[in-house]
């Protein structure tokens, strides 16, 4: 039945004069919180471009990444498999090997199979090559191009990890081979100053960690030597990525494309371009949010200028929740001025509480999606099954097995989303309806460095999110039957 409905849907497109299937642009930002945008209630920060996009979108109030940090969320997004099903999917160092098997069904491969041209511009953080040891001065494979992207322009891990260089397809950009790059996460290499030994050379001091090799006046995680011409300038990064994303859109405007535009903002180090420095009045973190809002506006303008707006789905979301001090003295906490990056939620990045994974999510498709606000429970892990439905692509049953078809919810046609969702941080949590259960664990309640409540507790936690979105009232002792039910459901999903 579903099949015939979809056929019908496709004929309707044809009837309505659509020349081709919709382009999809997935804008994925880094560490943006549920309360960081004015369309999600922020009052001390104004994000006009995202607010405008929100007025044309389904704006989700209960959308989640799979995890409270980057690598696992991106693994879930790409593969449709919960990251905790596979070992080695935690936050990766910059020299890690690729963690997605090259024979796996992935989100970009799904689009490729449907005849799309696919591209990634921005942060990768899913590893490169077959091993940690690799030669950064030759072609580096496998990477994004081997798991479904026809074109890639990336940085390997995070903006605060070496190597602080871009790769276009398989090669480091602007590398002078007479000054070869070497990377080490165990011990210092080469003669470049480190933040630890030369704090006077830093333009932004570290508050914890981030005191290895200095690149562009900023101490990083990990050591690198060589590759001086290839090293990035943080302030230029937004324009670099935007330019590459726009040219990908322009080159592919006449055929269906999928663009994964993975912005680094507002992840540390926050070093906004001159255009945005000081603009928010909330320090560099606020400026970085204005910068990402601007980049989104430029992408929307580009799509309009290419005459493809009506045939382009734009999705916007974040890989995990917000953090203020994530290792640099950048004023994020001291200049907050009453802004609440987590909105009404508890916790933040790294946390089992809602602010760890409940993130902004907008889905727009002019003419096809009626703007609305949806409280359906959806997860980024569901994109792969949902787009396989939209594009009528079959996924082998062994693949993307945790991804659920949420197409109707994503398009604003169904109010109901998932029945349940498993989330991970130091521990596991499961949401079913309004109930949320957090598995007991002995981790610290507070990450003292970032000042984030982690949601760890040696006792079971049960919250009624319908009445207590701030997770203040632990009902586990009052509702042991509900705890048992959710704990058993979680065990069933997680398997032996
Ligand atoms: C942590 C880093 C933090 C950030 C995070 C990854 C330290 C002390 N902290 O280990 O700064 O880089 O990893 O963030 O090094 S994520 O968004 O990519 O998951
Ligand atoms: Ca992140």
Ligand 1 mutation target, pool 91, 222, 332, most atoms within 8 A of CB:
91
Question: Cβ < 6 Å from ligand 1: which residues?
Answer: 30-31, 69-70, 91, 125, 158, 160, 208-210, 221, 267-268, 320, 326-327
Q: How far apart are CA 156 and CA 125, in angstroms?
A: 6
312 DSSP assignment: E
Rounded Cα–Cα distance for residues 220 and 399 (Å): 36
pLDDT tens track, the chain, 496 positions: 344 454 445 445 544 444 469 999 999 999 999 999 999 999 999 999 999 999 999 999 999 999 999 999 999 999 999 999 999 999 999 999 999 999 999 999 999 999 999 999 999 999 999 999 999 999 999 999 999 999 999 999 999 999 999 999 999 999 999 999 999 999 999 999 999 999 999 999 999 999 999 999 999 999 999 999 999 999 999 999 999 999 999 999 999 999 999 999 999 999 999 999 999 999 999 999 999 999 999 999 999 999 999 999 999 999 999 999 999 999 999 999 999 999 999 999 999 999 999 999 999 999 899 999 999 999 999 999 999 999 999 999 999 999 999 999 999 999 999 999 999 999 999 999 999 999 999 999 999 999 999 999 999 999 999 999 999 999 999 999 999 999 999 999 999 8
Q: What DSSP letter does each residue of 153-183 carry, written as one string? A: EEESS-TTBS--B-EETTEETT--TTS--EE
pLDDT, position 3: 43
The full length of the chain comes to 496
The pLDDT assigned to 7 comes to 47
Counting ligand 1 atoms within 8 A of each CB, the residue from 72, 75, 124, 221 with the most, and so the one to mutate, is 221
CA distance 182 to 135: 8
What pLDDT, on a 0 to 100 scale, did the predictor assign at position 263?
Answer: 98
pLDDT at 2: 43
State the ligand closest to the CA atom of 317: 2
Structure tokens given for 162: 């070496």
pLDDT of the residue at 18: 43
Q: Whose CA is nearest to atom 10 of ligand 1?
A: 91
Q: What is the pTM of this model?
A: 0.96
Ligand 1 atom closest to Cα of 449? 8
How far is the C-alpha of 193 from the C-alpha of 211, rounded, in Å? 10
Q: If you take atom 15 of ligand 1, which residue's CA is the nearest one? A: 209
- In sequence order, the β-bridge partners of residue 26 are 260, 315
pLDDT of residue 9: 53
Quick: pLDDT tens for 219-239.
999 999 999 999 999 999 999
Token pair recorded at residue 261: 């535009």
Q: Mutate which of 157, 218, 267 to test ligand 1's pocket (most atoms within 8 Å of Cβ)? A: 267
| Atom of ligand 1 at shortest range from CA of 71 | 19
Supply the residue whose CA is at minimum distance from atom 4 of ligand 1.
326
**Residue 448: how many CB atoms within 10 A of its CB?**
8
Kindly give the number of the ligand 1 atom that is closest to the alpha carbon of 268.
11
pLDDT at 20: 67
* Cα–Cα dist 27/462, whole Å: 33
**Any idea which ligand is nearest the CA of 324?**
1
Helices (H) and strands (E) in the chain, counts: 9, 22
**Residue among 206, 202, 208, 264 at smallest CA distance from 235:** 264
Q: What's the ipTM?
A: 0.99
Extended beta strands in 158-297, E state:
167-168, 171-172, 182-184, 214-215, 218-219, 223-225, 257-262
Q: What pLDDT is attached to residue 386?
A: 98
Give the ligand whose atoms come closest to the C-alpha of residue 270.
1
Please name which of 205, 357, 188 lies closest in space to residue 271, comparing C-alpha atoms.
205
Q: Are 319 and 73 in contact (CB under 8 A)?
A: yes
Ligand 1 centroid to 344 CA: how many Å?
A: 24
**Nearest ligand to the CA atom of 71:** 1
Closest atom, ligand 1, to C-alpha of 349: 17
Q: Which two tokens stand for residue 449?
A: 């460095």
Query: Could you report the per-residue pLDDT of 63-107, keeping only the tens digit for each?
Result: 999 999 999 999 999 999 999 999 999 999 999 999 999 999 999
26: nearest Cα among 108, 148, 91, 126: 108
Q: Which of 92, 158, 452, when mutated, tests ligand 1's pocket best, judged by the most ligand atoms within 8 Å of its CB?
A: 158
Instruction: Report helix, strand or coil for 328.
Output: strand
Q: How far is the CA of 479 from the centre of ligand 2 (A)?
A: 34
């Amino acid at each position: 039945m579903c099949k015939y409905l979809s056929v019908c849907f496709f004929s309707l497109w044809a009837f309505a004069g659509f020349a081709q299937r919709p382009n999809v642009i997935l804008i994925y930002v880094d560490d943006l919180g549920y309360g960081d945008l004015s369309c999600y209630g922020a009052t001390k920060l104004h994000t006009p471009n995202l607010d405008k996009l929100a007025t044309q979108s389904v704006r989700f109030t209960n959308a989640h990444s799979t995890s409270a940090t980057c690598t696992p969320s991106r693994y879930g997004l790409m593969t449709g498999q919960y990251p905790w099903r596979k070992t080695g999917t935690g936050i990766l160092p910059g020299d890690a090997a690729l963690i997605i098997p090259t024979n796996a069904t992935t989100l970009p491969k799904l689009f490729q199979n449907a005849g799309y041209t696919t591209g990634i511009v921005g942060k990768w953080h899913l590893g490169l090559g077959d091993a940690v040891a690799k030669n950064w001065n030759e072609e580096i494979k496998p990477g994004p191009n081997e798991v479904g992207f026809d074109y890639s322009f990336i940085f390997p891990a995070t903006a605060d990890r070496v190597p602080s260089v871009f790769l276009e397809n398989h090669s480091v950009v602007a590398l002078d081979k007479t000054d070869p790059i070497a990377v080490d996460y165990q011990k210092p290499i080469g003669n470049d100053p480190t933040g630890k030994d030369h704090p006077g050379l830093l333009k932004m001091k570290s508050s914890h960690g981030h005191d290895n090799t200095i690149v562009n006046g900023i101490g990083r995680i990990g050591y690198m030597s060589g590759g001086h011409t290839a090293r990035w300038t943080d302030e230029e990064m937004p324009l670099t990525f935007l330019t590459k994303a726009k040219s990908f859109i322009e080159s592919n405007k006449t055929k269906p494309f999928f663009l994964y535009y993975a912005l680094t903002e507002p992840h540390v180090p926050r070093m906004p371009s001159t255009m945005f420095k000081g603009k928010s009045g909330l320090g560099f973190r606020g400026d970085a949010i204005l910068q990402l809002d601007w980049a989104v506006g430029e992408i929307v303008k580009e799509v309009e200028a290419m005459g493809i707006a009506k045939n382009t789905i734009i999705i916007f979301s974040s890989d995990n929740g917000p953090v203020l001090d994530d290792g640099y003295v950048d004023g994020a906490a001291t200049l907050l001025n009453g802004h609440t990056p987590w909105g009404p939620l508890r916790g933040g990045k790294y946390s089992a509480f809602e602010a760890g994974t409940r993130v902004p999510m907008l889905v727009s498709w002019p003419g096809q999606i009626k703007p609305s606000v949806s409280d359906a429970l959806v997860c980024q892990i569901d994109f792969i099954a949902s787009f396989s439905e939209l594009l009528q692509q079959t996924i082998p049953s062994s693949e993307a097995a945790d991804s659920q078809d949420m197409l109707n919810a994503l398009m604003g046609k169904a109010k109901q989303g998932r029945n349940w969702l498993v989330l991970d941080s130091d521990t596991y949590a499961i949401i079913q309806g309004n109930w949320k259960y957090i598995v007991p664990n002995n981790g610290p309640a507070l990450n003292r460095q970032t000042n984030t409540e982690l949601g760890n507790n040696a006792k079971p936690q049960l919250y009624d999110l319908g009445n207590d979105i701030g997770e203040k009232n632990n009902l586990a002792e009052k509702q042991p039957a509900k705890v048992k039910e959710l704990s058993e459901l979680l065990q069933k999903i997680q398997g032996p």
